[in-house]
Amino acid sequence: MNKNTSPLTRSPTSSRFSIRLLPKVLQTKRDDNSSLLRGIVAARLVLLDDKYAKEASSRFKDIADVEPDMKESVIIGYARSTNDYDGLLDRYKKSTTDENRLRYLEALTSFKKPELIAKTLDFALGGNVKRQDIRNVISYATNNPEAKDVTWQWFKTNIEKLIKIYEGTAQLSGTMRAYVSILGVGHVSEAERLFNEHPIPGADATLERLRIHDRLARVVSTS
C-alpha cells in the first residue's frame, strides 16, 4: 500500500480490520485516557461489527467483573447478539445506580430488530423513564444503524407528546438540532411538513442542519 494513502480511501475490509484491532492495542496501555478511549471505540464497534459484538457479549454473564470502561460495549454487544429485550429490561428496572441504568437503557435501543427499538421508545415515553433520559434514548437510538427509520417514525407520531413533556424548556429544541437533523436524512420534505404543522422553537435551525446532512449523505452515496 502506498504510504501516502489516506485511511478514508482504504477498503472497508481493511478499515474494519484496523478498527477491530484498536481496542486490543489500547489494552496494553494502562493510563486513564487509553482506558476511556478503548471503551468508546469498543462501544461504537459493537454497533458496526457483528463478530466483535458477539465476542464482547461473551463477557456479559460476568458483567460485574468487567472493567468499567468496557461494560457499555459488553452490554450493547449482548443486545446486538441476542435481542434479549425482556432480560435487559429487567436489568434496567433492577439497576441501583444511574450509571448502570443508562447502560441498560442504551442497550435497549441497540437491538438489530427495529420492532424492539420501537418498544423501548414507547416504554420511555410511557412514564417509565426520567424526563431528561428520554433525550438519551433518542440519542442512543440515533447511533444505531438499524434504528434510524423507526426512530424517525416514532418522533413524527409522538411529536405532540414530546412538545408537552418539554414545554417551557429548551430541551426539545436541542434534541431536534442534535439528533432529528440526522434521523430525518432522506425525509426532508416530511420534516418540513411536520414542522410546518408544529412550529416548535428551534425547528428552523433543525431543518437547516438537516438539509446540510441530507446533501452530504447524497454526495457520499454517489461518490
Question: Average pLDDT of each block of 10 consecutive residues along the chain (223 residues)?
Answer: 35 45 60 83 92 95 94 97 98 95 97 97 95 93 94 96 91 91 95 95 94 94 81
User: Does residue 107 sit within a domain?
Assistant: no
User: Does residue 166 sit within a domain?
Assistant: yes
d(CA 110, CA 142): 10
- Total domains in the chain come to 2
* Same domain, yes or no: 49 and 132: no
pLDDT reported for residue 115: 97
Cβ burial 187-205 (10 Å sphere, 16+ → b, else e): beeebeebbeeeebebbee
User: Does residue 43 sit within a domain?
Assistant: yes
pLDDT reported for residue 105: 97
Nearest to 89 by CA among 74, 71, 110, 69: 110
User: Does residue 133 sit within a domain?
Assistant: yes
Domain with 13, as residue range(s), is 8-82
Instruction: Indicate the length of the chain as a whole number.
Output: 223
Q: Which of 65, 82, 99 is the last residue of a domain?
A: 82
Where are the strands (E) in 80-159, listed by range? none
* Same domain, yes or no: 131 and 209: yes
User: Does residue 68 sit within a domain?
Assistant: yes
* Same domain, yes or no: 118 and 40: no
- The model carries a pTM of 0.83
